[in-house]
Amino acid sequence: MLRYPILLLDYDGTLAETRPAILRSLEEAFTDIGRTPPPRSYLKERLGKGDALQGFYQSIVDEGASMDEAQRYVAAYRQRYAQADEEETYLYDGAHEVLQILQGRGYRMIAVSNKHGPTLRHSLARFQLEPFFEASIGAEEGLPRKPEKEVFTQRLAHMLPGWGAEQCLMVGDTTADIGFAQTLGMDVCWASYGHGVAEVCREMKPTYQFDSLWELPNLLSETES
């Protein structure tokens, strides 16, 4: 019997190494709108918090930024990201094999990401991951995003009639994933190899930890009865 019949899997930093493309695009977008990018080390640290792109920009511009400027930054980032993603993003070793194993065991899988919804769907299709997921939830204008519990109550629950949060396992790499699960009383499996700041994520006491994708099937085997 499966302890967690439904797996909610993050994308960035969990299934795919997108950090080089993201950091490159963040830097290029600053230049595109006439600002000097912060140091890459700082951008890398902030990336581990899973912030929304517009809020991320407004929070790190010292004197603040208008809504219009923040929106121009987001547009510049998305334009740059398409090429950077094609050139620099890759799946973590074992991604297809692990998902195939889990699908074969009968797990239902849904991609739950803070990545821009259209970009998430394109990425899943590009890497031929779509067949493993019955649905994908990305960031959409005006809709809740991790760590808000409404991602589950408003966006996911209707897809899972008769199932509660306690029957799901969140699998992700940042504080946004851990916080999302914990606000719902949902167990969470932390991908330590991803984009999260390790010390901060550990302090949040995720239910489980795995250090490579290949470890996930064995970890889940230990929860099955």
Domain boundary among 88, 106, 126: 88
- Examine the domain organization and report whether 108 and 167 are in the same domain: yes
- Examine the domain organization and report whether 84 and 100 are in the same domain: no
- Examine the domain organization and report whether 135 and 94 are in the same domain: yes
- Examine the domain organization and report whether 53 and 140 are in the same domain: no
Quick: pLDDT tens for 93-125. Answer: 999 999 999 999 999 999 999 999 999 999 999
- Examine the domain organization and report whether 191 and 122 are in the same domain: yes
Geometric angle at alpha carbon 154, from 100 and 183, rounded to 5°? 80
Whole-number Å distance between alpha carbons of 111 and 146 = 12
> What was the pLDDT predicted at 132?
98
- Examine the domain organization and report whether 127 and 100 are in the same domain: yes
Task: Evaluate whether residue 1 is within a structural domain.
Answer: no
> What was the pLDDT predicted at 58?
77
- Examine the domain organization and report whether 126 and 160 are in the same domain: yes
- Examine the domain organization and report whether 72 and 104 are in the same domain: no
For residue 41, the domain's CATH number is 1.10.150
Quick: pLDDT tens for 179-200. Answer: 999 999 999 999 999 999 999 9
- Examine the domain organization and report whether 29 and 83 are in the same domain: yes
Return mean pLDDT, the chain. Answer: 93
Domain containing residue 118? 6-17+90-223
Please enumerate, as own/partner, the contacts of 192-200 that have beta carbons within 8 Å and a separation of 24 or more: 193/92, 194/10, 194/12, 194/13, 194/14, 195/12, 195/13, 195/19, 195/47, 195/48, 195/50, 196/13, 196/48, 196/50, 197/45, 197/48, 197/49, 200/48, 200/175
Q: Is the pLDDT assigned to residue 140 strictly greater than 90? A: yes
Q: How many domains does the chain have?
A: 2
Residue 45 pLDDT level (bands cut at 50, 70, 90): confident
> What was the pLDDT predicted at 54?
79
Give the single-character DSSP code of 62: T
Query: What is the reported pTM?
Result: 0.91
